[in-house]
Structure 1
Amino acid sequence: MTELRAPAQELARFRLRVVVAALFVCVCLGLLAARFYYLQVVRHDYYLTRAEDNRIALLPTVPNRGTIVDRNGVVLARNYATYTLEITPSQVGDVEATLDELAMLVAIEPRDRRRFTKLLEESRNFESVPVRSRLTDEEVARITAHRYRFPGVEVKARLLRDYPQGSVGSHVVGYIGRINQRDVERIEEAGNTANYRGTQHIGKAGLEQFYENELHGTTGVEQVEVNAGGRAVRGLSRTPPTPGNDLELTLDIELQRIAENAFGDRRGALVAIEPATGGVLALVSTPTFDPNLFVDGISTQDWKALNESPDHPLLNRAIYSAYPPGSTFKPFMALAGLETGKRTAKQAISDFGYFNLGNHRFMDDKIGGHGMVDLHKSIVVSCNTYYYQLAHELGIDNIANFMAPFGFGARTGIDLPGEAAGVLPSPEWKRQRFRRPEQQQWFAGETISVGIGQGYNAFTPLQLANALAALVNDGKLYRPHIVRHVIDSRSGERRVIEPAPLREIGLKPANVKAVLDGMVGVNISGTGRRAFQGAEYTSGGKTGTAQVFSLRGQRYVEGRVRERLRDHSWFVAYAPAEAPKIALAVLVENGGFGAQSAAPIARQVMDYYLLHQRAGQPAAEDPGADESLGEGDAGAPAEPALPSAEEAVR
């Protein structure tokens, strides 16, 4: 049976379909045109930038780090060119396999692989990542000969940090090391992320850390065109980096070397300052370490040796460790007595060998005492009884108030990181220091101990040297500083680090002269005479012996005490006495009497600085090195053991 269709109906239906299809196509074309307009007109700048970012890579150009030289131009930190083996990950198929093959040509240690993996995670795909540094000429030749086998592997010349003086002055100069996560956080907080792109090292200690912003420089930028695989095709533009500024120090590295050698194997510290400017001439902490170990990442073995050593070579004793000053505190106590009117220069006391306070007897260093003692003699022979009485009359508040302007118990502001404040004891300090009420009470016996530089007193060698510099400089206290000039890397302009006077302590010249005359007497006829016998200049000094722990009233015998529990040896000195050019403090840990260990070191340092002896020449002979010791700190038992707070007279 044949179906009949109306042609008119079929045509109408067909036309409707065509219209609907046409409308649908028009709508789609409209949407597509609108999208094209949005992408090419509205979002033109955005996608152009994205395209350029995919085509153009910005490669950082790391600046040369500034050099560090001493006051005579001797280089302490510099950069040197070395060859490094590097891999560009985007050009290498299998990185691990490539490393295995390269290890057959040159030595690649496990630590090199670990460092490479870490750097690989932090770098971009088209940047080269170092595998080995300090390649020898033979290794460079071997890699070059087989380079055709290793696409993406190349040998580059880079600058590495070098410390040509080795361990000499290491605590001052410091060192650089690889940037870690903590460093990254500090850089981000300071807003310097862009300037550290591509930089792998940063100052970690000493001047390298304190003057990081001066030494680092400004990172440059190189624009390169890269292909879809991330490989550089051609260079487009380059903004050169600005090298870091150079530092010229007040430090004399030969003086530093002589001072360090004078310590030998002993632990200790020395700080020598130019009184008129506050410039640091030498800053010693022994034992030292080699900063070159840290430049390219210190090995586990070396780090363990330094970190676990009982001598703590990484510790900067000169600015961080605080010790009781012992009898080196007495000249300042004598000055306090004169300035407050509690003593006159000629006023004398009778020393019977002890001082009684309540039911406790504080013993003098000399059995039977020193007889009649005035201020001059009290300094020369280091008479404890004189200062027991003076401390009792002054009281702890007067002592603390007088000593504070000299910088005791406060950071000096030296341009080195990690300085400690020390302790200048007072009733207020004790209330803040201890929690229990019975511990917060200040006892009269504690004031007596403070008067001879014991008790809670704890100062850094830097504080003691700077206080002495202020004393011999008529009360003018300067901020100690190590950098003398910052030299601009572009213009060569030398920016002077001006001496910064902290304060001028109002002192009567006659009182200062009386104290300094006593210190001159120490090196002529007192406890320092052995060390300074035959010197071609006049100097002033003061020995000191600081207890490490209390003997609870027992007599101190050095041979019966373990080495690390023996007394610390102190000596402070200045010269020439007529117009001081140098003031110093020397500490020898567990060295015993000040005249025995510390004073000879001071003599060697002053001989070089004042008489211009070259390093390596024999220092001035110490005629009393093997003879019996003199009076006071040197020739009598160490300062008596101090009672605890419970034993002291309340």
Structure 2
Amino acid sequence: MTRKRGEHGVIILTAVFFIAFTILTSNLFRIAVEQKNVAAAATEGTFTLQVGECQGTVYDRNIRPLINSDTKLIAAAVPLALDRESTAEYAIDKEKFLTEFDKGLPFVFECTDKALESDGLTIFETPVRYSERQPARHVIGYLSDNKGADGIEYAYDQLLRGDIPQNSVSYNTDGFGHILIGDGKKVFRSTAYKSGVVLTIDKDIQKICEDCGKGINTGAIVIADIKSGEILGMASFPSYDPDKLTDAIEDSRCPLIDRALYSYSVGSVFKLVTAAAALEQGMGGFQYICTGTTEVEGKSFNCHKLDGHGIQVISEAMTNSCNTFFIELARSLDMEKFRRKASNLGFGKENYLCAGITGSGGVLPTEKELSVPAELANFAFGQGRLTATPLQITQVTCGIANRGKMPELSLVKGLTADGSAVSGERRSRLYTVMTEDDAESLRKMMIKAVRENENSKAKGKKMSVGAKTSTAQTGHYNAKGEELCHAWITGFFPARQPKYAVTVLIENGGYGNDAAAPVFRNIADRIKELGDKEH
């Protein structure tokens, strides 16, 4: 019995010892873990939340934003520091707000101007890239996967989006990553959106282009400063919404095409070039009796006035837009010099404005092609293989209105780092394309073509102008068998002291005087009103 009691005692003692050891070990382990947690909690971290997206701005010539002009409010929210229901009242999209809030993690949401900042709510005013009133959409272009895909957005993609500091708010965190409310926050409000590209476009003139061209189904308007060649307005029709590109792609009118850069049959506006070549070659006194038709090696060419204009000199022929006069005039010219004149005036040459925005060179027939009499006859009044862009026609008009010195057209004025000062401005390049006397003669012809034509619809009510219209045959016909013609007008104003050159093209628009001239007139009158307001 004694032995059994001893054995029993040993067992009890061993059990007690084991239990004590287990408790001690557990305590030591707990203490170790707690010490580790204390160390972890003492090590502070940082959580940073990016708010909105900041991209550079495209400005007009007067440093007025063409994009990023509207703003919206974006808030950074920390759920554990906010009341769910009351804060939701400030959200533009309440349902989305509640979904994000319930995740318990910091998030951003668009809010109203009723929201107030607190420890858990930080509000940023951020630019809206595009707006419903977005001007110059074809010039500015659009984004794809947040990269510039067209226009200025493409040409200056890296400048507008590369390495730009973004709006952010940073919070201190504990060792478990929990945000420490009441421990302060660091807020960075980026002003990098102020940097960007400054265009030659004038926002007010661009709006005039777009307003006056609202009735154009497909076409383009270009306005340039005759001395500098700076493009003040450039609009293509129809326009499109950069946020709804699928709709634009499915539109049969192809609104993504910038028609100011696209080449078309020119028609009678080219008579200005024929006249310039004639003046240069000493043929300014040429006379011709228009009977309504003329034959060139067996092929008949008709004047639009079937019974003829009678005796015509060059200025009268320009006013009457007499086709047969210019055909016979061209046959009297040195063809090589005639073609060279057209080349010097920019036909057959691209207008490079910036990367991705280049006007087509169009088609300037070769000397071999023009050696065929019928092709030369077509060339004389802007038909046949000849094509050109609204940009090229505008440049010619600049040369005439600027006393024979034709400027190189430009679209980009420079860059800005702060939305105030402009750097990298380039001087205008001028090319002497005709004598001052020849340019003056052509200028007077264009003024006379409007002033002495009783039927001219280019006559402004408030602005004196000089212009030439065109109805360019295309060789295409509608369902009724009627030939489709492009309506053109190019001109300048004021008449005596020209400042602006304007070209209007209406694709398949019909007669230039009926379709394009009223648009030109409205533009001239609106710009006159704009000038009066500025003074």
TM over 0.5: yes
Indicate the residue corresponding to 1:64 in structure 2: 54
Query: Once the 2 structures are TM-superposed, how far is the Cα of residue 587 of structure 1 from its aligned partner?
Result: 0.5
> What is the one-letter code of the residue matched to 2:449?
V
Distance in 2 between residues matched to 1:61 and 1:146, nearest whole Å: 19
Query: Once the 2 structures are TM-superposed, how far is the Cα of residue 538 of structure 1 from its aligned partner?
Result: 2.3
Query: Once the 2 structures are TM-superposed, how far is the Cα of residue 411 of structure 1 from its aligned partner?
Result: 1.3
Distance in 1 between residues matched to 2:438 and 2:267, nearest whole Å: 22
Q: 1:471 aligns with which of 400, 416, 420?
A: 400
Q: 1:210 aligns with which of 130, 134, 155?
A: 155
Distance in 1 between residues matched to 2:53 and 2:71, nearest whole Å: 13
Indicate the residue corresponding to 1:331 in structure 2: 272
Indicate the residue corresponding to 1:171 in structure 2: 138
Q: 1:510 aligns with which of 415, 437, 453?
A: 437
Query: Once the 2 structures are TM-superposed, how far is the Cα of residue 279 of structure 1 from its aligned partner?
Result: 1.3
Query: Once the 2 structures are TM-superposed, how far is the Cα of residue 459 of structure 1 from its aligned partner?
Result: 0.5
1:581–1:143: structure 2 CA closer, same or farther, 3 Å change rule? same
Distance in 1 between residues matched to 2:178 and 2:428, nearest whole Å: 52
TM-score of the superposed pair, with normalisation by structure 1: 0.62
Long gaps (5+) in structure 1: 1-54, 87-105, 107-133, 179-200, 431-440, 552-557, 616-650
Indicate the residue corresponding to 2:496 in structure 1: 578
Deviations 1:161-195 (A, max 9, x none): 422353532111222231xxxxxxxxxxxxxxxxx
Distance in 1 between residues matched to 2:158 and 2:408, nearest whole Å: 21
Report if the CA contact (8 A) 2:471-2:486 is conserved.
yes
Distance in 1 between residues matched to 2:129 and 2:165, nearest whole Å: 23
Indicate the residue corresponding to 1:252 in structure 2: 202
Report if the CA contact (8 A) 1:570-1:594 is conserved.
yes
Indicate the residue corresponding to 2:447 in structure 1: 520
Q: 1:136 aligns with which of 66, 89, 92?
A: 92
Query: Once the 2 structures are TM-superposed, how far is the Cα of residue 601 of structure 1 from its aligned partner?
Result: 0.3
Indicate the residue corresponding to 1:392 in structure 2: 331
Distance in 2 between residues matched to 1:219 and 1:365, nearest whole Å: 60
Which deviates the most, 457-466 or 238-247? 238-247
Deviations 1:528-574 (A, max 9, x none): 633316x33321100101112168xxxxxx99446xx5211000110
Distance in 2 between residues matched to 1:613 and 1:504, nearest whole Å: 29
Query: Once the 2 structures are TM-superposed, how far is the Cα of residue 611 of structure 1 from its aligned partner?
Result: 3.0
Distance in 2 between residues matched to 1:477 and 1:443, nearest whole Å: 30
Report if the CA contact (8 A) 1:167-1:288 is conserved.
no
Report if the CA contact (8 A) 2:353-2:412 is conserved.
no
Classify the secondary structure of the residue corresponding to 1:288. coil
Report if the CA contact (8 A) 2:49-2:107 is conserved.
no
Indicate the residue corresponding to 1:610 in structure 2: 528
Classify the secondary structure of the residue corresponding to 1:278. coil
Structure that is richer in strand per residue: 2
Indicate the residue corresponding to 2:425 in structure 1: 497
* Pairs within 5 Å for 1:342-361: 343-344=283-284, 346-361=285-300
1:66–1:219: structure 2 CA closer, same or farther, 3 Å change rule? closer
Classify the secondary structure of the residue corresponding to 2:364. coil
* Pairs within 5 Å for 1:223-622: 243=192, 245-263=195-213, 264-291=215-242, 293=243, 298=244, 303=246, 305-319=247-261, 321-341=262-282, 343-344=283-284, 346-394=285-333, 396-415=335-354, 417-427=356-366, 443-489=372-418, 492-495=420-423, 497-505=425-433, 507-526=434-453, 529-532=456-459, 535-549=461-475, 560-561=480-481, 566-612=484-530
1:313–1:385: structure 2 CA closer, same or farther, 3 Å change rule? same
Report if the CA contact (8 A) 1:270-1:318 is conserved.
yes
Report if the CA contact (8 A) 1:61-1:220 is conserved.
no
Deviations 1:329-368 (A, max 9, x none): 1111101111022x12x33111111222121121111112
1:457–1:136: structure 2 CA closer, same or farther, 3 Å change rule? same
Deviations 1:201-258 (A, max 9, x none): 2222222222223323534599x9xx9x998999xx9999882623333323333233
Aligned-pair identity (%): 25
Indicate the residue corresponding to 1:554 in structure 2: none
Distance in 1 between residues matched to 2:456 and 2:358, nearest whole Å: 33
Deviations 1:282-306 (A, max 9, x none): 1010000122x1xxxx5xxx50x31
Deviations 1:262-289 (A, max 9, x none): 3315211010100111111110100001
TM-score of the superposed pair, with normalisation by structure 2: 0.74
Classify the secondary structure of the residue corresponding to 1:410. coil
Query: Once the 2 structures are TM-superposed, how far is the Cα of residue 586 of structure 1 from its aligned partner?
Result: 0.5
> What is the one-letter code of the residue matched to 2:390?
P
